[in-house]
Amino acid sequence: MTTSFQQFGLSHDLLKSIKKMGFEEATPIQAQTIPLGLQHKDVIGQAQTGTGKTAAFGIPLIEKVDVSNAFIQAIVVAPTRELAIQVSEELYKIGYHKRIRVLSVYGGQDINRQIRALKKRPHIIVGTPGRLIDHIKRKTVRLEYVQTVVLDEADEMLNMGFIEDIEEILSHVPSSRQTLLFSATMPAPIKAIAEKFMNDPEHVKIKAKEVTVPNIQQYYLEIPEKKKFDVLTRLLDLQSPDLAIVFGRTKRRVDELSEALNLRGYSAEGIHGDLSQARRLSVLKKFKEGTIDVLVATDVAARGLDISGVTHVYNFDVPQDPESYVHRIGRTGRAGKNGMAITFITPREIGILDNIEKTTKRKMDKMRPPTLNEALEGQQKITIEKIRSIVENENLTIYKKAAEELLEQYDSVTVLAAAVKMMTKEPDTTPVTLTEEPPLPMKKEKKRSKLKRDFKGKENKKKRQSARSRGNHPISAKSR
């Protein structure tokens, strides 16, 4: 059964924007939560990655905004800066014909610039928790007319590291507010926390056999740590992804991996929480435009980012918890497209694999590492495709004389083989060294939250709470 957007009784302006965005029918999570959102109900919405949760909260949010009212009427909180920007862009598109003013506020951007933008009286603010609190304290953001609060990636936001921030933000919003929580994952303990500050929430969970979308092929490769990098490059050669994301365990890992990939002739750049915000944004922009083919990232890029054209996700280091796995691989296979996810597992990490599969309710297929020859064949295939396309589409007249001359001296197969060789990226075995990053021990729920606090603390609360967030867990605080 399909649901058209007309069925929700939305205003003409919204329908016009939705049409312009190319949405023809509502996705299942949209079909179920838009009516609830419009009725001012609290909702916990859980649906697989890439299935349109942003518009599921964005559409009712924008429908309800009164444009003639110059107060902030809704806030959306997101765990990372890039996600806050992306969500605000999607809301801007949905609100385009209604002339909704949306502003994103996040750490790493000049606060005075944000204060100036706030003076233009946005209707909706999208922000990261730390920066939102900064603005609340400075009274540059006032929340007394807010009707709706959205926590995107709610489970991440309600993880121990963020909960105090979220509580603080909510304490400035009228208690008559509507609270909307969305994520692809919602572990039970976190859901319990969530319910405490919601008002009789409706739980909308899209019935699906698996937590991950079926259109992502999922593989794992069991290999020793030291062989991982060679196998990664062989896979890149064999599979020649349009755009690929390689997830690494730590910031140092990401730096070393992107450097090593460049050394072997791939165009890769890294993104993690220690880079300047300008740099983070420029790397992401280059990746979206296809100027670089491989984005190497920590979990800072695991949640919510919607980059079309990502065909492959490689978990160079196995994710620490099943939720992180779900979100990382969900960067591909979005909006019905196909994708492939490959997870590297060292022999001592096999237990983590079982744990992931238990949560996703799906077995990964075992993949054999490709040989050098297979990698070369993969690259040759690309060359042959290029040649085919040139033969069929381009005018070669001015090259024919040279070809004829060559053919007087050598046989055609040899000449062509030389041309194919020249155009083919051969597997490169330039030695590279990566510092070993031992996996963190498997953690129980509580400890895990604590670790995340340090990680996120570093990402978002660096200045405000550095003393507190550094003390707890040296491994993750230092290295992610």
Ligand X SMILES: Nc1ncnc2c1ncn2[C@@H]1O[C@H](COP(=O)(O)OP(=O)(O)OP(=O)(O)O)[C@@H](O)[C@H]1O
Residues in touch with Mg ion (CB under 5 A): 53, 304
43/352 with CB nearer Mg ion: 43
90/134 with CB nearer Mg ion: 90
47/275 with CB nearer Mg ion: 47
Binding partner of residue 58 among Mg ion, ligand X, none, CB cut-off 5 to 8 Å per kind: none
76/294 with CB nearer ligand X: 76
155/459 with CB nearer ligand X: 155
Binding partner of residue 128 among ligand X, Mg ion, none, CB cut-off 5 to 8 Å per kind: none
Binding partner of residue 52 among ligand X, Mg ion, none, CB cut-off 5 to 8 Å per kind: ligand X
Minimum separation from the CB atom of position 27 to Mg ion (A): 12
Residue 219 tokens read as 């593989």
21/418 with CB nearer ligand X: 21
160/329 with CB nearer ligand X: 329
Residue holding tokens 């609100």? 95
Minimum separation from the CB atom of position 55 to ligand X (A): 5
Binding partner of residue 50 among ligand X, Mg ion, none, CB cut-off 5 to 8 Å per kind: ligand X
Rounded Cα distance between 208 and 48, Å, is 8
Minimum separation from the CB atom of position 31 to ligand X (A): 9
For 336-370, b/e burial (b = at least 16 CB within 10 A) is eeebbbbbbbbeebeebbeebbebbeeebeebebb
The edge-to-edge listing of strands for the beta sheet with 124-127 is: 102-105, 124-127, 74-77, 148-152, 178-183, 43-46, 202-205
Check: CB of residue 128 under 8 Å from CB of residue 80.
yes
Minimum separation from the CB atom of position 54 to ligand X (A): 3
Check: CB of residue 322 under 8 Å from CB of residue 175.
no
Minimum separation from the CB atom of position 299 to ligand X (A): 13
DSSP reduced 3-state for 441: coil
Minimum separation from the CB atom of position 122 to ligand X (A): 21
Crossing angle for the helix pair 228-239 and 251-263, to the nearest 10 degrees = 60
Minimum separation from the CB atom of position 15 to ligand X (A): 12
Residue 190 tokens read as 């976190």
Burial of 265 (0-12, 13-18, 19+ CB in 10 A): middle
Residues found near ligand X in the complex (CB under 6 A): 23, 26-27, 30, 47, 49-55, 184, 304, 306, 330, 334-335
Q: How many helices and strands, by DSSP H and E, does the chain display?
A: 20, 16
43/143 with CB nearer ligand X: 43
User: What pairing do the DSSP bridges indicate for beta strands 3-4 and 25-26?
Assistant: antiparallel
Binding partner of residue 88 among Mg ion, ligand X, none, CB cut-off 5 to 8 Å per kind: none
Binding partner of residue 253 among Mg ion, ligand X, none, CB cut-off 5 to 8 Å per kind: none
In this structure, the dihedral spanned by the alpha carbons of residues 364, 370, 375 and 378, taken in order and rounded to 10 degrees, is -50
Residue 110 CA: distances (Å) to CA of 105, 106, 115, 225, 342? 10, 9, 9, 41, 38
Residue 263 CA: distances (Å) to CA of 260, 283, 306? 5, 18, 28
53/473 with CB nearer Mg ion: 53
Minimum separation from the CB atom of position 185 to ligand X (A): 9
Residue 296 tokens read as 């190497």
User: What pairing do the DSSP bridges indicate for beta strands 102-105 and 294-297?
Assistant: unpaired
Minimum separation from the CB atom of position 302 to ligand X (A): 9
* DSSP labels, 258-327: HHHHHHTT--EEEE-TTS-HHHHHHHHHHHHHTSSSEEEE-GGGTSS---TTEEEEEESS--SSHHHHHH
Minimum separation from the CB atom of position 311 to ligand X (A): 15
Residue 443 tokens read as 């953690």
161/304 with CB nearer Mg ion: 304
Rounded Cα distance between 273 and 276, Å, is 8
Does the CA dihedral 305-306-310-311 come out positive or negative? positive
